[in-house]
Structure 1
């Protein structure tokens, strides 16, 4: 095992003010609270208002992270934002955050890997920060998926929520990057799509479309494989991992992964009931919540795993 210094100095999340319950959705489409809870584990989700965008949510998180860590924006070397729902095609969401917080010396760019985006970004940031000079970087995941969803389609509308989360990391400190496993299955990408419209296209084509059964099968097959491989690459056993922070796509997927790995469910924290599927914001929101409530302690080994559009899957193993 090659251990690389890589420390999470701060973690934070930001959710839109508006909360939409399952009963709220049942009032506008053919569904019910019971149907949604049994199939997904979701009870509520947060939906962005007119003034809330991916960039504003990510900026709030960035400001929280700097305040927590006592780091000035001028000290940042890099800002990465994982998102599949940016405000614009250009400028990048990360560039907007950089400008708003005054991080004049930071290189900023977005990474698009859907629900694996935050984990992929953790991996990329570790590479960017490598070297003898002390450096700091922001790794953010932010989404406003409510603007990609057809609110008359219960197969997708009940699943997704908006939000942002992130971490401030350094190549110094007590934490460490222990190992990873990243994989892209581009030949299966048509199972989950959201595309820009061309002239003459049906407006419905712009919405997020998902083959739920194919994505579920992909997840329960590939997530255990990725976790097992990443932990092996870290020179550890699954039993030595203290927390498995999985993308919150479906509570049943998380339960099945825990069963397949023969690990206790208590190692797999959940917040999907409150926030739904927030794609690239999912893992950082879960991390921030469990660090704040003391579940994740300094020295703990944490495996973060994202999976989704692309199709993509990725796991990064860290010592917090």
Structure 2
């Protein structure tokens, strides 16, 4: 890499310029969800996960809440708060795991990004889809950050709509005990989120670092496939291995090594808040505890919404950010750490300061 390119890459930092979300209006409480379980009657899901309710998209009727509809709604919400008109967006990156357009059927061509760009009026934008399990939106922001830093684009939209509760309902029909590999499916909820990212103009709004790492040797620990029993969409997870301390230590090890490369320490980064992937309240607490031990540092305040919305897959970190901003819980100038944890296994970190981002 030439010295000129290094300088341009370091100078052209990006920022989160605007954020939006879409939440299906239908709420399903944990007791209501448990009532749908056919073979298990004594499961205390709230005690295990901390989830009190979740949003469930309505995939029936004339205007189904599918992934496309929700993603477009979140994109509009972000653009309504952005300085950019749709026709000024340079690139649209869609990051959904689920890609339904009529409530149930998956679509791969044309790309979701193409359809979203057309729906929002950004027809001149570059567009592509990226799928990286629950780290999808983090991957989209990572790619866009690098494109802005290199000068390839000025701005872009990263968006995801997840209608993923069908895997929860498959598990409710098929699970026979709490150790069933479909257990993790019980913590799923529907939502959409979108962020506009552009070039930073000052240190008040800036993405300091965003890095990702994939350990493919663990890819078999969580898979979404047709059900072994019925052919319905199902997710099979080895929770014990997926969330073992060795797996959770991947993040602080990777993060600590990257900081050390530039002579930095976690304790000196000055994070005000941390956002973990919203798997369950126990997971959020445990992975933060593991990080604190390995960094030998006081951990920042946790932001979480898993109790209200469950695990919303790719959208979870940005939905936490959206809700915390809406509730006035993030003071201007706060520095946040967002930590992905996805099947693959994918981990990493996003370090960002926000001041003008509003909901």
Q: Same fold (TM over 0.5)?
A: yes
Q: Paired residues, what number?
A: 316
Equivalence for 1:63:
76
Give CA deviations for 1:14-33 in whole Å, capped at 9, x if unaligned: 11121111101221222568
Tell me whether 310-319 or 18-27 shows the greater mean CA deviation: 310-319
Equivalence for 2:50:
41
Equivalence for 2:278:
248
1:23–1:32: 8 Å Cα contact kept in structure 2? no
Deviation of 1:107 after TM superposition, in Å, equals: 1.2
Confirm or deny that 1:272 pairs with 2:280: no
Equivalence for 1:162:
190
Distance 1:81 1:38, change over 3 A: same
Match of 2:266 among 237, 247, 250: 237
Equivalence for 1:124:
143
Equivalence for 2:223:
193
Alpha-carbon separation, structure 1, partners of 2:302 and 2:256:
15
Aligned positions of 1:167-186 closer than 5 A: 167-174=195-202, 175-186=205-216
Relative contact order (alpha carbons < 8 A, sep ≥ 6): 1 or 2 greater? 1
Distance 1:301 1:32, change over 3 A: farther
Deviation of 1:202 after TM superposition, in Å, equals: 5.7
Match of 1:13 among 21, 43, 46: 21
Corresponding residue SS for 2:344: coil
Tell me whether 59-68 or 156-165 shows the greater mean CA deviation: 156-165
Distance 1:236 1:55, change over 3 A: farther
Equivalence for 1:317:
351
Match of 2:166 among 147, 152, 163: 147
Alpha-carbon separation, structure 2, partners of 1:222 and 1:105:
40
Tell me whether 293-302 or 41-50 shows the greater mean CA deviation: 293-302
Equivalence for 1:100:
119
Distance 1:169 1:177, change over 3 A: same
Match of 2:132 among 97, 109, 113: 113
Q: TM-score, normalised by structure 2?
A: 0.80
Tell me whether 204-213 or 94-103 shows the greater mean CA deviation: 204-213
Confirm or deny that 1:54 pairs with 2:63: no
Corresponding residue SS for 2:314: helix
2:11–2:149: 8 Å Cα contact kept in structure 1? no
Q: TM-score, normalised by structure 1?
A: 0.89
Alpha-carbon separation, structure 1, partners of 2:50 and 2:261:
32
Unaligned runs of 5+ in 1: none
Alpha-carbon separation, structure 1, partners of 2:151 and 2:242:
42
Confirm or deny that 1:207 pairs with 2:210: no
Distance 1:103 1:31, change over 3 A: farther
Corresponding residue SS for 2:350: strand
Tell me whether 271-280 or 258-267 shows the greater mean CA deviation: 258-267
Deviation of 1:85 after TM superposition, in Å, equals: 0.7
Equivalence for 2:329:
295
Unaligned runs of 5+ in 2: 1-8, 101-106, 355-359
Deviation of 1:130 after TM superposition, in Å, equals: 2.6
Alpha-carbon separation, structure 1, partners of 2:24 and 2:219:
29
Distance 1:2 1:236, change over 3 A: farther
Greater C-alpha Rg: 2
Distance 1:90 1:289, change over 3 A: same
* RMSD over aligned Cα atoms: 2.6
Distance 1:231 1:133, change over 3 A: same
